[in-house]
């Protein structure tokens, strides 16, 4: 798909800005802290849906204002024109409009705009806590099929209910505890059902990613090591990503989760918290035989994070529209060889938005937009397309 | 803050479900400027509902008599009981004209977050009915959300050992939605396609 227009009103450092975009590469050029990243952030926010929390999107609104608006115009792969609008208030839930119509839940707008964003912070997928890797898989799955976002939030709801019941049971006398145990069984079964949906989808994503990440890493990093992805579930399941595998059978996962929950039942009563489920799973990333989280150099971690993100493009493109790629301040971190490899990849995508502080870092032809900030307000200036980069 | 009576009204309205502080204020000022005859009718309607409407002694549906209209109707099939969360779900199902049995209104769903367990619902009363009435099938029509599913699963575990058939309304209901949002066609189909649990 293509993003044909971005309009921002009182979003971050923008007061009122409209930018028209074409297919291919667009480079946003400007020194740091001028508002380049804010532009990509706004697009990404619109693609992944407004925050569920009332205050979640508040930082997006320009300081001193009460309402920020992100309005995007798109063209699907089939040529259909669409609009996506987010109205972010400082004192109310984000309001989302698709093709001019209000949607009931922000998750209903998921999948309207599909993007892959890579930013320097994404190195945390490789080196950060398990939560970073869970979020990486969940974001990918939610964009691939909005039904996953619904399944994931249903799981969260069951988890919250079950944890609540475990906490209540801790304060009960013996007879009341027996009564609570009867309802705990019910919540445990609900947890097993919903955990299985989430785990199965994540394993399918790991299989779908595995081949792409391996190829993409060796290509980008120019290194011979193989990359191995392993979904490591708290239910005692370890599944190595394999491009020849697809969506796993539900039954073995259900059995594993149920068995693991039975084993930790005593522990759960003591600690009053659910100890098994997708909320405690991890995705192991190995470069060669070594775990990347603890044994990778900065350059390796960086290349692997980039390879993971670029592979999500392939997985998203399998169903529905091809996504738009957003690369935030990426080229500066790369050496000459890897810059060239990434530039080659950019040539394969329908639309890429790239930010750079130094224009010569980006060996790409394409449109240039200058981003400047004056008096705390950012603005975007179009340059004739002929002014190409260093390619 | 407003003076005494106005603020009292805003506070009372604000306690109603789905009415936020801003709406409460708007409604209060609407009432303030409304025709006295209209406001008298409103306050009388509220008073009358509290004076005359109560809960059916058999099924906990709302009723103006000891038993509700459904329970009093001799044409209703006593061997079928449809279990719902709220009385408004009875209205939604009655509108489909697909169902000829009786009801049992639980008064909510199991939800630890809200501090609601089986003892806070009319579950014991349901079990008593199953012992006293010639019930052959219980159709569980709790909402198709997490709490409704958990409640359905709890009830089926409780009822199945009694030798009563337990069925659950088939999906086709909007996921995550309340039963009374389901349009009549969908609900009608749900009754035809109910499954054993
Ligand atoms: Zn009745």
Q: How far is the CA of B67 from the centre of ligand 1 (A)?
A: 5
Ligand 1 centroid distance, CA of B75 (Å): 14
Touching check for A104 and chain B: CB below 8 Å? no
B124 touches chain A (CB under 8 A): no
Which among A205, A169, A383 has a CA at the least distance from the CA of A308? A205
Residue B119 touches chain A, beta carbons under 8 Å: yes
Q: Are residues A202 and A309 in the same domain?
A: yes
A82 DSSP β-pair partners: A74
Q: Cβ–Cβ of A165/B112 closer than 8 Å?
A: yes
Distance B68 CA to ligand 1 centre (A): 4
Q: Is A262 on the interface with B (CB under 8 A)?
A: no
- Size of chain B in residues: 197
Nearest CA in chain A to B118: A183
Give residue A99 CA to ligand 1 midpoint distance, Å. Answer: 46
Q: Which chain A residues contact residue B149 at CB under 8 A? A: 190
Instruction: Enumerate the residues of chain B whose CB falls inside 8 A of the CB of residue A52.
Output: none
Q: B21 at the A interface (CB within 8 A)?
A: no
B174 and chain A in contact, CB less than 8 A: no
Of A150, A185, A190, nearest to B176 by CB-CB distance is: A150
- Rounded to the nearest angstrom, the distance between the alpha carbon of B49 and the centre of ligand 1 is 17
Instruction: Give one DSSP letter per residue of chain B, joined into a string.
Output: ---HHHHHHHHHHHTSTT--HHHHHHHHHHHHHS-HHHHHHHHHHHHHHHHH-EE-TTT--EESSSS-HHHH-TTSEEEEEEEESSHHHHHHHHHHT---EEEEE-SS--BGGGTB-GGGTTHHHHHHHHHHS---EEEE---SSHHHHHHHHHHHHHHGGGT-EEEE--S-SPTT--GGGS-HHHHHHHHHT-EE-
User: So where are chain B's domains?
Assistant: 4-52, 68-196
Tally of structural domains, chain A: 2
- Of B117, B146, B176, nearest to A190 by CB-CB distance is B146
pLDDT at A50: 54
Please choose, from the candidates B101, B97, B92, B103, the residue with its C-alpha nearest in 3D space to the C-alpha of residue B63: B103
Partners of residue A179 in chain B, C-beta under 8 Å: 117-119
Does pTM surpass 0.95?
Answer: no
pLDDT tens for residues B68-124?
A: 999 999 999 999 999 999 999 999 999 988 899 999 999 999 999 998 999 999 999
Chosen domain end from A284, A302, A319: A319
| Same domain flag for A315 and A331 | no
* Per-residue pLDDT, B4: 86
Phi, psi dihedrals of residue A209, rounded to the nearest 5°: -80, -35
CATH number, position A27 = 3.40.50.300
Supply the pLDDT for residue B178: 45
Q: Do A132 and A261 reside in the same domain of the chain?
A: yes
CB within 8 Å: B110 and A186 = yes
B118/A183 touch (CB, cutoff 8 Å), yes or no: yes
Q: Are residues A329 and A346 in the same domain?
A: yes
Specify whether domain B68-196 bears CATH 3.50.50.60: no
Is A265 near chain B, with CB under 8 Å?
no
Write the pLDDT tens digit of every residue in A247-264.
899 999 999 999 999 999
Q: Which residues pair with B166 in a beta bridge?
A: B138
Residue A243: which of A345, A314, A147 has the closest Cα?
A314
Q: Tell me the chain B residues in contact with residue A273 when contact means C-beta distances shorter than 8 Å.
A: none
List the shell of residues around ion ligand 1, using CB closer than 5 Å: B 56, 58-59, 61, 68, 71
B73 alpha carbon – ligand 1 mean position (Å): 10
Can you tell me the distance from the alpha carbon of B48 to that of B65, in angstroms, rounded to the nearest whole number? 14
* A287 and A237 belong to one structural domain: yes
Which residues of chain A fall below pLDDT 50? 52, 387-391
Other beta carbons less than 10 A from residue A57's beta carbon: 22
A131 and A82 inside one domain: no
Question: Do residues A32 and A157 both lie within one domain?
Answer: no
CATH of the domain at A259: 1.20.1050.90
- B112 CA to centre of ligand 1 in angstroms: 28
**A312 and A327 co-located in one domain:** no
State the CATH class of domain B4-52. Answer: mainly alpha
Q: Give the sheet arrangement for strand B137-140, strand by strand.
A: B101-105, B77-84, B137-140, B165-168, B195-196
CA B176 to chain centroid, in Å, comes to 17
Are residues A89 and A220 located together in one domain of the fold?
A: no
User: Contact B154/A158, CB-based, under 8 Å?
Assistant: no
B72 Cα to the center of ligand 1, angstroms? 7
Is the minimum CB–CB distance between B1 and chain A shorter than 8 Å?
A: no
Residue A386: the pLDDT is 55
Q: Which domain holds residue A145?
A: 123-319
Q: Are A187 and A158 in contact (CB under 8 A)?
A: yes
Q: How far is B175 from chain A (nearest CA, A)?
A: 9
Residue of chain B with shortest Cα separation from A166: B112
Cβ within 8 Å of residue A1, ≥6 positions away: A74, A75, A76, A77, A113, A114, A321, A322, A323, A324, A350, A351
Same domain, A85 and A17: yes
B117 touches chain A (CB under 8 A): yes
Tell me: do A71 and A149 sit in the same domain.
Answer: no
Residue at a domain's end among A300, A319, A338: A319
Among the three residues A294, A319, A344, which one is the final residue of a domain in this structure?
Answer: A319
Q: Answer whether A189 sits within 8 Å of B153, measured CB to CB.
A: yes
Same domain (yes/no): A27, A161: no
Question: Which of B143, B145, B150, B151 to substitute to test the interface with A, most A CBs within 10 Å?
Answer: B150
Distance B104 CA to ligand 1 centre (A): 7
ipTM over cut 0.95: no
Give the residues of chain B that fall short of pLDDT 70.
170-193
């Amino acid at each position: 798909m293509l993003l044909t227009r971005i309009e921002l009103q009182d979003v971050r450092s923008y007061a009122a800005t409209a930018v028209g975009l074409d297919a291919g590469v667009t480079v946003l050029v400007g020194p740091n802290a001028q508002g380049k990243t804010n532009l990509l952030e706004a697009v990404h926010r619109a693609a992944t849906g407004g925050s569920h929390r009332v205050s979640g999107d508040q930082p997006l609104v320009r300081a001193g204002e009460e309402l920020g608006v992100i309005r995007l115009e798109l063209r699907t792969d089939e040529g259909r024109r669409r609009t996506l609008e987010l109205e972010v208030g400082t004192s109310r839930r984000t309001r989302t409009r698709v093709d001019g119509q209000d949607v009931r839940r922000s998750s209903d707008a998921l999948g309207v705009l599909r993007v892959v964003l890579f930013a320097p912070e994404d190195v945390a997928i490789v080196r950060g806590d398990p939560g970073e890797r869970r979020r990486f898989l969940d974001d990918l799955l939610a964009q691939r099929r909005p039904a996953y976002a619904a399944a994931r939030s249903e799981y969260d709801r069951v988890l919250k209910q079950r944890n609540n019941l475990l906490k209540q049971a801790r304060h009960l006398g013996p007879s009341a505890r027996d009564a609570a145990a009867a309802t705990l069984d019910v919540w445990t079964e609900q947890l097993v059902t919903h955990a299985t949906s989430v785990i199965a989808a994540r394993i399918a994503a790991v299989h779908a990613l595995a081949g792409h990440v391996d190829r993409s890493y060796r290509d980008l990093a120019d290194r011979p090591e193989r990359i191995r992805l392993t979904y490591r579930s708290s239910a005692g399941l370890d599944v190595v990503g394999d491009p020849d595998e697809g969506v796993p059978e539900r039954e073995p996962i259900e059995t594993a989760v149920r068995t693991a929950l039975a084993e930790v039942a005593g522990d759960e009563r003591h600690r009053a918290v659910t100890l098994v489920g997708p909320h405690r799973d991890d995705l192991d990333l190995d470069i060669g035989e070594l775990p990347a989280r603890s044994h990778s150099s900065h350059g390796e971690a960086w290349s692997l994070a980039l390879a993971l993100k670029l592979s999500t493009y392939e997985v998203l493109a399998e169903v529905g529209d091809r996504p738009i790629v957003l690369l935030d301040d990426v080229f500066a971190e790369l050496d000459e060889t890897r810059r060239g490899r990434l530039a080659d990849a950019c040539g394969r995508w329908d639309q890429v938005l790239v930010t750079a502080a130094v224009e010569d870092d980006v060996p790409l032809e394409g449109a240039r937009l200058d981003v400047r900030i004056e008096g705390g307000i950012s603005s975007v200036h179009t340059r004739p397309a002929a002014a190409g980069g260093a390619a | 803050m407003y003076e005494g009576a106005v603020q009292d009204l805003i506070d009372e309205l604000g306690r109603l479900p789905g009415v936020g502080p801003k709406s409460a204020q708007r409604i209060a000022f609407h009432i303030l400027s409304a025709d006295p005859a209209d406001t008298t009718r409103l306050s009388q309607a509220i008073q009358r509902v509290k004076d005359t409407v109560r809960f059916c002694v058999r099924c906990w549906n709302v009723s103006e008599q000891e038993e509700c209209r459904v329970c009093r109707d001799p044409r209703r099939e006593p061997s079928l009981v449809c279990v719902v969360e709220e009385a408004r779900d009875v209205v939604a199902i009655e509108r489909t004209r697909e169902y000829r049995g009786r009801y049992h209104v639980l008064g909510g769903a199991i939800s630890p977050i809200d501090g609601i367990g089986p003892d806070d619902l009319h579950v014991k009363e349901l079990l008593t009915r199953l012992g006293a009435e010639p019930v052959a099938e219980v159709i569980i029509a709790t909402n198709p959300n997490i709490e409704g599913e958990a409640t359905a699963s709890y009830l089926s575990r409780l009822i199945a050992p009694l030798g009563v058939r337990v069925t659950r309304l088939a999906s086709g209901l909007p996921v995550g939605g309340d039963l009374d949002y389901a349009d009549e066609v969908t609900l009608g189909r749900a009754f035809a396609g109910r499954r054993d649990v």
